[in-house]
């Protein structure tokens, strides 16, 4: 009887400790921002170096399709016609789950994680103030 009670108390204690750990761990949704930063900077540098094919390989599928559709040209050609500021450094990156905003020295780029890695979903974005969405020249729609 007393052995049973001790066993029950031990099980309850383990469940409580596990629950507390799960609750705290579960809330944490942030990760390293090396992937997003690398994709954003790689895209900006590729456009600056007139490497359209490389720039397009770093675009998200929907963004690439939108760019080709709106410009009526293949992506590699269309992307070089956009006014993408020539950035060389990452000032700040914020990541929440599979979404990230990378603030480059001369541009703001939105990046998302896909099965092949981080890809640019919007670039050449202008800040219109805290309450309004960025105005992005390249975006997925």
Residues near other proteins (CB under 8 A): 16, 19-20, 23-24, 26-30, 60-63, 65, 94, 96-101, 110, 112-115, 121-122, 125, 130, 132-134, 136, 139-141
Q: How would you classify the pairing of strands 90-96 and 99-104?
A: antiparallel
Give SS3 for 65. Answer: helix
Nearer to other proteins, 105 or 127 (CB): 127
Alpha-helix residue ranges (DSSP H) falling in the chain:
2-26, 34-48, 52-57, 61-71, 75-78
Taken as a whole, the chain contains a residue count of 141
Region for residue 104 given its phi and psi (left: phi exceeds 0; alpha: psi -120 to 50; beta: otherwise): beta
| Nearest approach, Cβ of residue 94 and other proteins (Å) | 5
Nearer to other proteins, 31 or 42 (CB): 31
Nearer to other proteins, 78 or 101 (CB): 101
Do residues 47 and 113 make contact, with C-beta atoms less than 8 angstroms apart? no
| Nearest approach, Cβ of residue 29 and other proteins (Å) | 3
| Nearest approach, Cβ of residue 50 and other proteins (Å) | 26
| Nearest approach, Cβ of residue 49 and other proteins (Å) | 26
């Amino acid at each position: 009887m007393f052995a049973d009670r001790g066993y029950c108390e031990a099980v309850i204690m383990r469940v409580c400790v596990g629950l507390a750990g799960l609750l705290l761990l579960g809330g944490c949704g942030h990760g390293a921002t090396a992937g997003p930063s690398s994709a954003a900077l790689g895209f900006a540098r590729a456009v600056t170096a007139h490497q359209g094919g490389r720039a397009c390989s770093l675009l998200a599928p929907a963004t690439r399709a939108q760019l080709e559709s709106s410009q009526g040209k293949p992506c590699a050609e269309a992307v070089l016609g956009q006014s993408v500021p020539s950035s060389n450094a990452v000032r700040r990156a914020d990541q929440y789950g599979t979404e990230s905003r990378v603030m480059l020295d001369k541009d703001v780029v939105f990046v998302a994680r896909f099965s092949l890695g981080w890809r640019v979903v919007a670039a050449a974005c202008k800040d219109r103030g805290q309450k309004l969405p960025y105005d992005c020249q390249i975006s997925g729609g």
